[in-house]
Amino acid sequence: MDAQMHLQEVQEQNHQLSLFIAIMRVPPLLILDGICGLRIDMSMFGAQNWLLQTLIILSGVVGSIIVFFLPAKALRSLYQVALALAALVTSMWWNNVFIAKIDEKRSSSEWTSVFQLRSTNSTTFYGDIVFSLDFTLYLCVQTLYAFLFVMLGAKSYWLRNGNLLYHVVWFSIPVVFRIFVEGIYDLDGEASEDAKNQVGHIVYIVKITALFEPVVNLTISMVGKALWLLFRISRFIRVCTGIVKQLGLTIFLESEWTRLQVPKVLRIFFACRFLLHILDFPTEAFSGSGDDTSKHLAAASEEVAAHVCDTFIAVLGISAILSPVASFMADLSRKFIGGHEGETEHVGTMTSILFFILALQTGLPSLDRTKRVARLYRNISLLATAHLHFIHNILHPVLMQLSTSVVTPLQRHVRALAAALMLLILPALCIWYWWSVLTISTWLLAVTAFCVELIVKVMVSLIVYALFMYDTFSQSQWESLDDYVYYIKAIGSTFEFLSGIFLFINGFWILVFESGGIIRAAMMCIHAYFNIFQVGKDGWKKFYLRRQAVQKINSLPEATPEQLRRVQDVCAICYQELTTTARITPCQHFFHGACLRKWLYMQDSCPLCHQVIMQVEEDTSSPTQGQEEEVPEHQDHPNQFLVQDAR
């Protein structure tokens, strides 16, 4: 029951509230990022011993992880306590600042009066301070701190009403007492040193005393919320355990991914991190003119590019940023081409995963600045090539659909052909640029193979499109069309298979001689299975089915002209008249030979009576037994872009 309620709460999160909760999960990531990037100075904690520094780092890591995974209500309570404590500490700092100002400004003329009143004395009079603009501003700020302190839950437990005014008085006691002392003691002149020291001690005691009541209230609130937080954490653990037992680990991970809003949190984290880095960047980079400005901007761009991926948490952030960008580009391409809804649904997710795995297996954050920037550009180049492959996967079925329709508007044909032309020109331009600028390397060979493979696939799609268009608008049936289409697709599939073997050899060279690692070895195994073994297996299955269909067709008798005149029927597959040639099945049904061969690619029964047409002797090397199914065309597997990325 608790598990179902938890899942329902996750699904019913309000959008604005979810954005607020996502923002609250960003500070733990910033702390973890600072620890991973070694940007937190341990000396500010007074930690000089390595053991103490290690304990502080471990505490920061564990605490940040716990805070990140807290439920929403517990997270809000934690931030309420933290902000109340921050308001109290800031109020203390403001008291010290104003008391120091009183000690510094000893003349009445240095205090601007609200009512334009001046004391007749030349020295500071406490009335000048009380009616000054500075003291009015001080009271407004302390009222704001008291309001935050009260609204965040640290209320007085022995007052039912007047909490705000009560805390304003407590927050302002040190300054009010210091002003009162100013009216009693003469603190000017050489004879007042003892009086100054005595007043300083008294004011210090008053400041400590003024903290007693707010600290007690805050402590009581913190203890109560800590107990409630422990209860929430224990309940949350029970709920998570129940979800895993009742619904499985997959449902639990999906619900937690939704509850934590990981992509949204990472995007906000990246934006905050990027903004902080820009604000911390020297202003000289954006000043000057001419060549100096270009140099400064180039250096700034390189610095930003190196900074956005210097930790693994930062890599997660930029991966989350790439997801909506890739989704937008893919959706824009789909709308331009005229593809179906849902074809680009997972492009953004796949792009993020590809970028993160590329960063992992190349050790992107651990590289020095220059190599990191170069590696980042290379990884983005691989992602761009992969994105072009995704666009081709959208374009190919659209071309096949357009080529078999005679009523499709010309505009759709023009758009699809323009997209195909772009997929031919862009890889060719990239190959020309890379080979003219870069020296030969394993990465250059790999990305060139990807681009050439894309060019070949687009050319295959265009040739098949042209053949189908010719057949659609021709007056007679082209029986050899299927053979030509098969041969062209076989050439493309063979090139993909050889390209996969080449990339595997190239990746093996990288693994052995350039940059090894467990992740790279695992990616190579996945590449060998999906892009070599599976492609070869599917290609052999297509070849076997085609050979078996040809054997069956050749074994069937061909109808004579006399039989065709006597039957005077149409082919039950294509609904065209049987005028010239036909094949006769054992069940005495007539079909076009080409039509029947296409049918036998899918199943070996008669289209009309479903009787087995003919049993052909099975080859021992057959990939399947019994009734065969049509083998789908090979689709690009994302891991083929992960294997090739030499340092």
Q: What is the 3-state secondary structure (H, E, C) of 100-111?
A: HHHHHCCEHHHC
Q: Specify the amino acid at residue 44.
A: M
Distance of CA 212 to CAs 68, 206, 259, 385, 487, Å? 32, 10, 40, 65, 88
Query: How far is the C-alpha of 625 from the C-alpha of 630, rounded, in Å?
Result: 13
Please compute the mean of the pLDDT values over residues 282-290 and round it to a whole number.
Answer: 54
Distance of CA 532 to CAs 283, 382, 499, 527, 623, Å? 53, 20, 9, 7, 16
Query: Does the pLDDT of residue 454 top 90, yes or no?
Result: yes
- Residue 46 DSSP class: T
CB atoms within 10 A of CB 463: 16
Query: Does the pLDDT of residue 642 top 70, yes or no?
Result: no
Give the pLDDT confidence of 34-69 residue by residue, as tens digits: 888 766 655 555 556 677 778 888 888 899 998 999
Give the pLDDT confidence of 505-533 residue by residue, as tens digits: 999 998 888 887 888 888 889 888 988 99
10 Å CB burial of residue 152 (0-12, 13-18, 19+) is: buried
Distance of CA 439 to CAs 55, 347, 444, 550, Å? 48, 32, 8, 50
Please compute the mean of the pLDDT values over residues 432-460 and round it to a whole number.
Answer: 95
Residue 576 — φ and ψ, nearest 5°? -100, 155
What is the residue whose two structure tokens read 């001046």?
A: 118
Query: Does the pLDDT of residue 647 top 70, yes or no?
Result: no
Give the pLDDT confidence of 291-300 residue by residue, as tens digits: 666 777 777 7
Query: How far is the C-alpha of 185 from the C-alpha of 196, rounded, in Å?
Result: 9
- Residue 640 DSSP class: G
Contacts of 215 (CB under 8 A, 6+ apart): 88
Nearest to 103 by CA among 210, 209, 203, 170: 203
What is the residue whose two structure tokens read 């054992």?
A: 586
Distance of CA 311 to CAs 32, 39, 317, 367, 576, Å? 10, 11, 10, 10, 66
Q: In the chain, where are the structural domains located?
A: 73-250, 557-613
Q: Which of 283-297, 446-460, 481-495, 611-625 has the lowest mean pLDDT?
A: 611-625
Q: Specify the amino acid at residue 223.
A: V
Pair of tokens at residue 578: 């049987």
Please compute the mean of the pLDDT values over residues 243-261 and round it to a whole number.
Answer: 87
Nearest to 443 by CA among 374, 519, 539, 345: 374
Residue 113 — φ and ψ, nearest 5°? -85, 145
Query: How far is the C-alpha of 557 from the C-alpha of 530, rounded, in Å?
Result: 41
Query: How far is the C-alpha of 69 from the C-alpha of 56, rounded, in Å?
Result: 20
Residue 646 — φ and ψ, nearest 5°? -65, 155
Query: How far is the C-alpha of 589 from the C-alpha of 606, rounded, in Å?
Result: 8
Give the model's pLDDT for residue 356: 93
pTM (predicted TM-score)? 0.76
Nearest to 497 by CA among 538, 459, 460, 461: 538
Give the model's pLDDT for residue 247: 84
CATH 3.30.40.10 fits 557-613, yes or no: yes
What is the residue whose two structure tokens read 């895993």?
A: 244
Query: How far is the C-alpha of 142 from the C-alpha of 136, rounded, in Å?
Result: 10
Please compute the mean of the pLDDT values over residues 574-592 and round it to a whole number.
Answer: 84
Q: Specify the amino acid at residue 62.
A: V
Give the model's pLDDT for residue 457: 96
Query: Does the pLDDT of residue 210 top 70, yes or no?
Result: yes
Percent over 70 (pLDDT), the chain:
81
* Number of alpha helices (DSSP H) and beta strands (DSSP E) in the chain: 23, 2
Contacts of 264 (CB under 8 A, 6+ apart): 18, 19, 22
Please compute the mean of the pLDDT values over residues 360-367 and round it to a whole number.
Answer: 87
- In sequence order, the β-bridge partners of residue 590 are 584
DSSP track, 440-462: P-HHHHHHHHHHHHHHHHHHHHH
Query: Does the pLDDT of residue 95 top 80, yes or no?
Result: yes
Query: Does the pLDDT of residue 504 top 90, yes or no?
Result: yes
Signed CA dihedral, 5, 8, 14, 15: sign only: positive
Please compute the mean of the pLDDT values over residues 192-216 and round it to a whole number.
Answer: 75
* Residue 172 · residue 139 · CB < 8 Å: yes
Q: Which of 121-125, 172-176, 306-310, 458-462 has the lowest mean pLDDT?
A: 121-125
Pair of tokens at residue 20: 């607020």
Helical segments of 106-211, H only: 126-130, 133-151, 163-184, 193-210
* Count of positions (residues) in the chain: 647
Query: How far is the C-alpha of 106 from the C-alpha of 101, rounded, in Å?
Result: 9
Give the model's pLDDT for residue 632: 42
Query: Does the pLDDT of residue 380 top 90, yes or no?
Result: yes
Contacts of 234 (CB under 8 A, 6+ apart): none
Nearest to 589 by CA among 598, 578, 579, 602: 578
Query: How far is the C-alpha of 163 from the C-alpha of 94, rounded, in Å?
Result: 20
Query: How far is the C-alpha of 577 from the C-alpha of 563, rounded, in Å?
Result: 13
